[in-house]
Amino acid sequence: MHRQTGGMAAATLALALGAVDARADDWQQTVIMYGMGAALDGESQIGELEVPVDLSISDVFDALEMGAMAAYRADNGIWSITGDLTYMGLGGTSESRHDLVKGDLEIDQLTLMGTAGRRVSERLEVLFSLAYFDLSADASVRTRAPVTGAVTTRRASTDADWIDPMVGLHYDRPFRDDWKLNLRGDVGGFGVGSDLSYQLLATVQWQSSGGFGAAFGYRLISFDYEGGHEGDRDYQRFDLTEQGPVVGVTYTF
């Protein structure tokens, strides 16, 4: 299942990018390398283990083991094709008062989104996307008895991956010769993969005459995924929201 869904997402993205045909002069293409200072909060459950997640932006930087983010966009004035790749390896800890309960969660998260857009006005596009999510999680909960001090530790791990169809809107508006505002919102899942997923992205982009540029903004990604049956050993649920500032470099050709 894991390889099949990953292959479906990769094939979908490859077909989307294949729409940028040999008429390169008709398309404006942009490559973006960026970083996201994300706060992470929500809930996760593996089997009977429940671990709340509440990491500030500084906590995420402390917990970040590895991160890589890149995007590609091609636009011919009517149609657009976008591919976006995000990978983060995170680890976090939550503790109750008096250190009676301590939860640890490590997550490796890969998100791959392929989007086709159709411009319906000078500034507005309608978007249709497939988003592939891949999570690997290891959780542990340590409980200490308040009187005896006896410690009990439970551990669980799981792999989850799914594909969400998504619909959205993209709005762009130049406000100076070399500056542009971009606003994007997507919503999806609809029970096909997750119960609900959505993202919001707002950026201000500066473009030099030589093709290089910079982007500054804010991004929010949220998903609520449930797999298996609650109470079963293989049950898994991730209700997580990542949000924070985005900074990147761009090259347009």
Tokens found for residue 158:
């799981």
**What mean pLDDT do residues 181-205 have?**
96
Q: Name the least confident of 55-69, 110-124, 176-190, 221-235.
A: 55-69
Quick one: fold of 2-252? Lipocalin (2.40.128)
Confidence of residue 20 (pLDDT cuts 50, 70, 90): very low
The C-alpha torsion from 249 through 131 and 165 to 121, rounded to 10°, is 10
φ, ψ at 34 (rounded to 5°): -145, 165
Residue 189, pLDDT > 50, answer: yes
Residue 143 pLDDT > 70, yes or no?
yes
Stretch 178-198: mean pLDDT: 96
pLDDT at 4: 53
Domain residue extents for the chain? 2-252
pLDDT in tens, 152-163: 777 777 888 999
* Better pLDDT: 174 or 61: 174
